[in-house]
Structure 1
Amino acid sequence: ERGVQLIGTAHGQTLDNLLLNPTLSDLVGGIEAVTLSDEEARRRGTQKTVLERRAPPTFDVLIEIQHRERFAIHTDIMSAVDSLLRDAAIPPEIRTRDESGEIVIEKAPQPKVRSEATKTPPLRTRRQPVSVPAAVSAPDNGSTPLMQSAQLGARLQTIRVFAYGVARNRLQQAAKRLGVPAVVVADVSEADVLVTLRTYYRNREHTIIDAESRGMPIYVLRANSVSQVEQFMSDLYNLT
């Protein structure tokens, strides 16, 4: 009816959390792994397998309730999701209610424009090569990128990954999206590789030192973001 506005609510503190929820991600368009052609990957300056928004979002605006009196507003969900998947998140507009009841608006700063070709890949420190068969390009037989990922996964060996400071669910979801047989283990002694964040690596945590003494390959990510985790998984299986 005229004048009626559709509003939806979902559990998840941030837009990033919503993207990682398989059930709720459709509200913001959903995400999927897409395999680019060699020419397109060179043009973008990215790897061949990337994450992209699957469909238009259900809603135009998203509001994060950070506190009782503080809200983060994404005025354009489509652009916000696309930027987040490219590891260049657009800061939201912040609105706060002060003690007098007035609404204070902090406009989001304009993001710095930079070419994707200049983006820094996740840091990697490899003490010993992992025996991982290189990915073989699937023939152009009309199959979709997701079908090709599933076929590719069947040809690759299982790699056991220990996450130190990196979200285990993000690793599992990235492996599922890319169709690779990576397994996230709970004990470093069972792992083939270790993945951590730059902060933990610089602090020389005991677990990291122990892994280095075993000669275990260590991957160091700049951030615990969806795109960084997905790129790590692609690098692990040589999908770039």
Structure 2
Amino acid sequence: MIPAQHDDAFELITALPPAYQAALQDMPRDTLIEIVMDLGRPPQARYPGEALNLLQTPVTHDDLNHVLALLGEFSADNRAGIERTLHRISAIRNRKQQVIGLTLRVGRAVEGTVDMIRDLVESGKSLLLVGRPGVGKTTKLREIARIMADELGKRVMVIDTSNEIAGDGDIPHPAIGSARRMQVPHPDRQHAVMIEAVENHMPEVIIVDEIGTAAETAAARTIAERGVQLVGTAHGNTLENLVANPTLSDLVGGVQTVTLSDEEARARGTQKTVSERKGSPTFDSVVEIIERDTLLVHHDTAKAVDTLLRGGKPGGERRQQSESGEIESSQERHALPTAPEAPFRRIKGTVHIHPYALSRDSVERVIRDLRLNARTVIQPEQADLVLALKARADDPRLRELAELHHKPVHLIRKNTTAQIRHTLQQVFLLMDEIDEDEVQDAVREAEAAIRQVHYLGKEIALAPRRPALRRVQHQMVARYQLHAESTGSEPRRHLVIYPD
């Protein structure tokens, strides 16, 4: 089925000044995305891939006031609407809170957008949609509400924070069918209304848009644990974005840093400090909306997240809808990392190194220059660790050393002395004697600081740590897509974590 639009753009256009309406007569209306009015600049009509000036004359205060007089009240998030329509009008204000700009976004009820994920909707499992702004997440939620209420006969409650799903005014837009709608008095109260919906109205399905705070994440988990099917959207383009976001990662199971024993790290072929999923995901399945007609479906959220945390590709089912309405499906490969990773491991005495497809002379030169307690060996079975080129990561013999013989493998991008020096410096820093309690303390401190940086949006300084522990903290910060720098002199050298 090809998506069909129910266009009520006329109501939005009639809210514009007469000159703007006249200019729009000669422009296409069915693909119009939004109209932008910024004080002192020509008004624009925006279409997919282009923006056209409506007039050459700049927007005036009178133009803005003309539109404002015909709108409802603006909510705390600077959004307003036109009653019984799906249009969204957002305001830009100056320091005196005067409106100096408007974005009038066309809202449309579109049927057929759920065809590609109808099986997931009917499964009864909780479903999370992610994707860039404007790709159609809210449009899909709107149709999901209608299908579940009218076609599947379920008790559906829509949590409508900005009245984007069911439109402005007290009467919901017909696009959500017989689904009920709860409005949210302030964006900060969305989580409370979510819980209120479950406790007071006994829904079978709750639909919520733009989960973005820790409180909303916790509310979503509470709803799912009560056996209510949850369908929602979250800030982020991909599943990987959610995993890296400490506020939202709980939606997909959460992430915790654990320290393995030497034996377990050796058996896994990983570092001693690793990331693991904390618990069961709130949402059973995740759909990445790549384009309006292209999706990537992760049917098993837990399995996909586990693969990501192990450094692999989560795969998924790619679905695409052709112009004729046919849906094509293909499976993307679920793959663990192709390159073996080096476990964190302490070695007493002389360290035996086997250069695999590397210059042995270069390795020995670096050992002498750095005055390391190490020497090279010809037979890999005699080695404590293996140095290899990254280009040889898929070599079957190398994988056998890592997986069957439990040899730590450290990969080097280029066969140069500089690269070998850098790698061996890092390896021997990690081999420094570290107490288990020190590692756990450093990990806990970094996790708490990362949450604070995300929540407060300001830099956080950590306690002074030894080089090997700072490296562990650096790795944690990088995993959450933040930036950290070491500052100060030993023994007071420490990390400072900065917001993104």
- The TM-score with structure 1 as length reference comes to 0.57
1:159–1:183 contact (8 Å) kept in structure 2: no
- What SS does the corresponding residue of 2:290 show, helix, strand or coil? strand
Q: Tell me the amino acid that sits aligned with residue 136 of structure 1.
A: I
1:47-89 superposed Cα distances (whole Å, 9 cap, x missing partner)? 1101111111101100000001000000001010001111122
Structure 1 residue 18, shift from structure 2 partner? 1.0
Structure 1 residue 155, shift from structure 2 partner? 3.0
Matches of 1:148 and 1:112 in 2, distance apart? 28
- What SS does the corresponding residue of 1:83 show, helix, strand or coil? helix
Equivalent residue number for residue 412 of structure 2: 123
- What SS does the corresponding residue of 2:332 show, helix, strand or coil? coil
- The aligned runs of 1:98-117 (5 Å cut-off) are 98-109=322-333, 111=335, 117=402
Structure 1 residue 92, shift from structure 2 partner? 1.1
Determine which structure has more spread, i.e. the larger CA radius of gyration: 2
1:138–1:148 contact (8 Å) kept in structure 2: no
- The aligned runs of 1:33-182 (5 Å cut-off) are 33-109=257-333, 111=335, 117-118=402-403, 121=410, 123=412, 125=419, 127=421, 129=425, 134=432, 136-139=434-437, 146-147=440-441, 149-150=443-444, 154-156=464-466, 170=481, 172=483, 181-182=494-495
- What SS does the corresponding residue of 1:16 show, helix, strand or coil? helix
Matches of 2:324 and 2:410 in 1, distance apart? 46
- What SS does the corresponding residue of 1:9 show, helix, strand or coil? strand
- The aligned runs of 1:166-205 (5 Å cut-off) are 170=481, 172=483, 181-183=494-496
1:157-213 superposed Cα distances (whole Å, 9 cap, x missing partner)? 5979xxxxxx7962548x9xxxx944579xxxxxxxxxxxxxxxxxxxxxxxxxxxx
1:31–1:53 contact (8 Å) kept in structure 2: yes
- What SS does the corresponding residue of 2:308 show, helix, strand or coil? helix
2:256–2:276 contact (8 Å) kept in structure 1: yes
Matches of 2:240 and 2:334 in 1, distance apart? 20
Which of 250, 275, 286 is the aligned partner of 1:26? 250
Matches of 2:320 and 2:327 in 1, distance apart? 6
Q: Tell me the amino acid that sits aligned with residue 102 of structure 1.
A: E
Q: Unpaired segments of 5 or more residues in structure 1?
A: 161-166, 186-240
- The aligned runs of 1:206-221 (5 Å cut-off) are none
Q: 1:76 to 1:19 in 2, by over 3 A?
A: same
Greater RCO structure (CA 8 Å; 6+ sep): 1
Q: 1:168 to 1:30 in 2, by over 3 A?
A: closer
1:85-104 superposed Cα distances (whole Å, 9 cap, x missing partner)? 11122311001110101111
Q: 1:8 to 1:99 in 2, by over 3 A?
A: same
Q: 1:6 to 1:171 in 2, by over 3 A?
A: closer
Q: Tell me the amino acid that sits aligned with residue 156 of structure 1.
A: R
% identical equivalent positions: 42
Q: Unpaired segments of 5 or more residues in structure 2?
A: 1-154, 156-202, 206-228, 342-401, 414-418, 447-462, 472-477, 487-492
Which of 224, 230, 239 is the aligned partner of 1:15? 239
1:33–1:146 contact (8 Å) kept in structure 2: no
Q: 1:109 to 1:98 in 2, by over 3 A?
A: same
Structure 1 residue 19, shift from structure 2 partner? 1.0
Matches of 1:120 and 1:57 in 2, distance apart? 33
2:245–2:480 contact (8 Å) kept in structure 1: no
Q: How big is the alpha-carbon RMSD for the aligned residues of Structure 1 and Structure 2? A: 4.1
Matches of 2:247 and 2:433 in 1, distance apart? 30
